[in-house]
Amino acid sequence: MWFSKFFKKENKIKIPSDVNLGFWVNVKKPAIVLAPMADVTDCAFREVIAKYGKPDAIWTEFVSADGIFRGGFEHLKYDLMFGNREKPIIAQFFTSNPEYMERAARLAKEMGFDGIDINMGCPDRSIEKQGCGSAMIKTPEIAKEIIRSAIKGADGLPVSVKTRLGYNKDILEEWLPELLSAGPAVVTVHARTRKDMSKVPARWERVKRAVEIRDELKSKTLIFGNGDVATPEEAFRLSKETGADGVMIGRGIFGTPWLCQDLDKRKESFLNGKEYIFNEKTLEEKLRIAVEHTKLFEEKLGGMKSFAIMKKHFKAYANNFDGAKELRLKLFETENAQQIADVIEDFLKNKK
Positions marked active-site = 122
In angstroms, the Cα distances linking 6 to 3, 11, 42, 57, 175 are 5, 10, 38, 35, 11
C-alpha 182/C-alpha 185 separation (Å) is 10
C-alpha 67/C-alpha 13 separation (Å) is 33
User: How do 246-249 and 31-34 pair as beta strands?
Assistant: parallel
* Alpha helices (H) along 129-202: 140-154, 172-180
The whole-angstrom distance between residue 30's C-alpha and the CA centroid of its chain comes to 16
Query: Are the CB atoms for 120 and 92 separated by under 8 Å?
Result: no
Could you give the angle at which helices 140-154 and 172-180 cross, rounded to 10 degrees?
30
Measured at the CA of 33, the angle between CA 230 and CA 41, to 5 degrees, comes to: 85
**Alpha-carbon Rg of the chain, whole angstroms?**
21
Run of H or E including 105: helix 98-111
How far from each other are the two terminal CA atoms of the chain, in whole angstroms?
A: 63
* φ/ψ bin of 152: left (φ > 0), alpha (ψ from -120 to 50), beta (otherwise): alpha
Query: Are the CB atoms for 162 and 92 separated by under 8 Å?
Result: yes
C-alpha 119/C-alpha 117 separation (Å) is 7
**What's at 94, amino acid-wise?**
F
In angstroms, the Cα distances linking 2 to 18, 38, 274, 338 are 31, 31, 50, 56
